[in-house]
Amino acid sequence: MVHCANMQLYHVPIGPPPPITGFRGCTRLRFVCFICCHFTALLDVDFIRRSENAVSQTLGSKNTAAMSDKVILHYFNGRGKMESVRWLLTVAEVEFDEYYLTTREQYLKLLNDGSLLFQQVPLVEMDGMKLVQTKAILHYIAEKYNLFGKDIKERAMINMYSEGLIDLMEMMMMLPFTADPKPKLDNIQSKAKERYLPVFEKALTGPVYLVGGKLSLADVLLVECTLMLEEKFPAILKDYPNLKSFQGRMIQIPAISRFLQPGSKRKPQPDEGYVKTVMEVFNITAPLSL
Amino acid sequence: MVHCANMQLYHVPIGPPPPITGFRGCTRLRFVCFICCHFTALLDVDFIRRSENAVSQTLGSKNTAAMSDKVILHYFNGRGKMESVRWLLTVAEVEFDEYYLTTREQYLKLLNDGSLLFQQVPLVEMDGMKLVQTKAILHYIAEKYNLFGKDIKERAMINMYSEGLIDLMEMMMMLPFTADPKPKLDNIQSKAKERYLPVFEKALTGPVYLVGGKLSLADVLLVECTLMLEEKFPAILKDYPNLKSFQGRMIQIPAISRFLQPGSKRKPQPDEGYVKTVMEVFNITAPLSL
């Protein structure tokens, strides 16, 4: 069924293809091969799905939904704003596939398809929706998989903690894009020590989890955040024994333990290649001043 | 009950006072007067509440909760990140009082009291909680007052729209703090026209509200955002008839109509005084480079 010889497993197109006029309801669609820029002939959707699934890594999740129900992530092959989504899906034990943005053309295709509500990634295809905006995605997953508290007051606490953690992680996210990262790094360290870590250290005096005695979105973000911090500042948790214990407990959760093994869907720290790809895809020419 | 002669209605302290050792459960507390820096004697909480209520403006809301249950906002006397909270409470017809941050000492007192989870305002006292983080506050209010959809899919849509609108409004929020606002203003206008307004124009082709045929957080943010945009770019909605109609319908909602009248709790566009206060309270010395 493959039209183009270049259309192999490792360059299947990203994004939903345009439906073919006159084939409304048909499961066969046409694609563009990004290697040779040729349109394919009609392609069987199931074949494409299988190919895509073969491309993306798998983690051995317990989710047994049909291929067509699978969660699909569209983002760079790097952490960025998608990494927390990967963490949350992992903890919820939801299987997902990933399409990596590697060229501006792929991004433009997503735009032209109307897949990106506000022209931005992350994009997560899930339950028939094209979810964008990181926090909207996280909240949907958290609510669906009972990681968002038992009532609105617990949810408010989870939200407060989560927003703080995302603020801190977003500062770290911007580091590789800054021309002079040293002052930013110092600022992150002092903010972490003065503003954020003491809050969580105190909250975890006694309780196993941050809110309501039950695992939530906030816990997932906290373990992700502490690990990110330790990558930059290896001894940063030494004055926060509760946080270190919490981290120790969390990384023993089987799904997290697997996620932390080499070869999982967890992404490494951003390197020059990642930065270059992001800048090219978004057509950014100068270092960000943020 | 007032210890200090300066402790008049217009400089009652902001933020919850520290409880007095040995008076656990007592409703009488001590305060610092920020004018003369003296500690007060024991003050009756009800008296303080009444004073505070007298200070802040009132809008004639339908909410008839007891004084002690009243929602209290701690922020600058300006829009900033609190304005959307004011809008949402207004639409929910929830009465609220406001304590304005005017000096760094007031901010430090909130910090020392432990009222600010991450050392930041907005702070909203509500239902026995000290809510921080704008989005956590908005979500709590939206959920409590049935402005957050009927299920998780509707909530995801409301969240997506809301996140986009907040992104756009945050760009406008930063304008008065930038050294050279012109390029930022141009960027906001083009982003609004290319990225945001078309999405909402399309979503309102037919439906009265953005999601689920019912007023939600997203609608409230949208009307706030369109009015903000028109302040900067008066003709910006001329190519978006659905948005203009939506705005026309929304401003006829009685609570919104009152909110748009002079003397309401709606704040004016930021001026030099507002910027100066924010910079002083947060000890910011240079224009932000954002």
Is A131 part of a structural domain of the chain?
A: no
Measured between CB atoms, does A150 come within 8 Å of chain B? Answer: no
**Which ranges in A68-216 belong to alpha helices (H)?**
83-91, 104-113, 134-144, 152-174, 181-191, 197-203
C-alpha count within 13 angstroms, C-beta hemisphere, residue B27: 7
Is residue B112 located within the same domain as residue B93?
A: yes
Q: Compute how many other C-beta atoms are within 10 angstroms of the C-beta atom of residue A58.
A: 12
pLDDT of residue B48 exceeding 50, the answer is: no
Measured between CB atoms, does A199 come within 8 Å of chain B? Answer: yes
- Assigned token pair, B235: 């003709």
- Look at residues B79, B111, B144 and tell me which one is the last residue of a structural domain: B144
Find, in chain A, the residue whose alpha carbon is nearest to that of B165. Answer: A118
Q: Do A136 and B144 touch (CB under 8 A)?
A: no
Find, in chain B, the residue whose alpha carbon is nearest to that of A192. Answer: B118
Find, in chain B, the residue whose alpha carbon is nearest to that of A202. Answer: B117
Is residue B21 located within the same domain as residue B112?
A: yes
Is A199 part of a structural domain of the chain?
A: yes
Looking up tokens 């390029």, which residue turns up? B183
Q: Which of residues 57-116 of A touch B (CB under 8 A)?
A: none
Is A130 part of a structural domain of the chain?
A: no
ipTM of the complex: 0.78
In angstroms, the CA B249 to CA B120 distance is: 35
- A289: distance to nearest CA of chain B, Å? 7
- Look at residues B119, B144, B169 and tell me which one is the last residue of a structural domain: B144
Report the percent of chain B where pLDDT is more than 70: 75
- Assigned token pair, A36: 């040779």
Q: What is the CATH number of the domain that holds B181?
A: 1.20.1050.10
Is A117 part of a structural domain of the chain?
A: no
Is residue B130 located within the same domain as residue B207?
A: no
Average of per-residue pLDDT values in chain B: 82
Domain interval for residue A50: 1-55
pLDDT of residue B224 exceeding 50, the answer is: yes
pLDDT of residue B98 exceeding 70, the answer is: yes
- A278: distance to nearest CA of chain B, Å? 19
Q: Do B136 and A143 touch (CB under 8 A)?
A: no
Residue-level pLDDT at B4: 33
In angstroms, the CA A244 to CA A168 distance is: 18
Q: A264 Cβ partners below 8 Å, 6+ apart? A: A57, A59, A258
Q: Is B171 exposed, middle or buried (0-12, 13-18, 19+ CB in 10 A)?
A: middle
- Look at residues B93, B124, B144 and tell me which one is the last residue of a structural domain: B144
Least confident piece of the model among B45-59, B85-99, B247-261: B45-59
Is residue B164 located within the same domain as residue B245?
A: yes
Q: Do B155 and A139 touch (CB under 8 A)?
A: yes
Is residue B115 located within the same domain as residue B158?
A: no
User: Measured between CB atoms, which of B119, B139, B160 is closest to A159?
Assistant: B139
Which of chain B's residues have a Cβ under 8 Å away from the Cβ of A164? Answer: 117-118, 133
- B256: distance to nearest CA of chain A, Å? 25
Residue-level pLDDT at A289: 52
In angstroms, the CA A232 to CA B164 distance is: 31
Residue-level pLDDT at A68: 54
Is residue B32 located within the same domain as residue B100?
A: yes
In angstroms, the CA B29 to CA A124 distance is: 51
Is residue B28 located within the same domain as residue B140?
A: yes
Is B275 part of a structural domain of the chain?
A: no
Find, in chain B, the residue whose alpha carbon is nearest to that of A133. Answer: B160
Is residue B110 located within the same domain as residue B55?
A: yes
Residue-level pLDDT at A69: 81
Is B264 part of a structural domain of the chain?
A: no
Is residue B76 located within the same domain as residue B24?
A: yes
Measured between CB atoms, does B4 come within 8 Å of chain A? Answer: no
Residue-level pLDDT at A10: 27
Q: Confidence class of residue B145 from pLDDT cuts 50, 70 and 90? A: very high
Is residue B164 located within the same domain as residue B101?
A: no
Which of chain B's residues have a Cβ under 8 Å away from the Cβ of A157? Answer: 129
Is residue B219 located within the same domain as residue B109?
A: no
Residue-level pLDDT at A285: 84
Mean pLDDT of successive 10-residue segments in chain A (290 residues)?
Answer: 29 35 32 30 33 32 51 98 98 98 97 97 98 98 98 98 98 94 96 98 97 98 98 98 98 98 97 96 75
Residue-level pLDDT at A286: 72
Q: B82 Cβ partners below 8 Å, 6+ apart? A: B73, B75, B76, B121, B122, B134
Q: Compute how many other C-beta atoms are within 10 angstroms of the C-beta atom of residue B175.
A: 16
Q: Confidence class of residue B287 from pLDDT cuts 50, 70 and 90? A: low
Find, in chain B, the residue whose alpha carbon is nearest to that of A193. Answer: B118
CA angle A55, A60, A63 (to 5 degrees): 100
Contact A122, A278 (CB under 8 A): no
Is B262 part of a structural domain of the chain?
A: no
Q: Do A156 and B135 touch (CB under 8 A)?
A: no
Is residue B94 located within the same domain as residue B194?
A: no
Is B27 part of a structural domain of the chain?
A: yes
Q: Do A135 and B289 touch (CB under 8 A)?
A: no
Find, in chain B, the residue whose alpha carbon is nearest to that of A154. Answer: B140
Contact A175, A185 (CB under 8 A): yes
Q: What is the mean pLDDT of residues B175-204?
A: 96
Q: Compute how many other C-beta atoms are within 10 angstroms of the C-beta atom of residue A117.
A: 21
Q: Confidence class of residue B288 from pLDDT cuts 50, 70 and 90? A: low
Residue-level pLDDT at B68: 55
In angstroms, the CA B51 to CA B53 distance is: 5
Q: Do A140 and B152 touch (CB under 8 A)?
A: yes
CA B226 → CA B139, B193, B248, B282, distances in Å? 21, 11, 11, 29
Total domains in chain B come to: 2
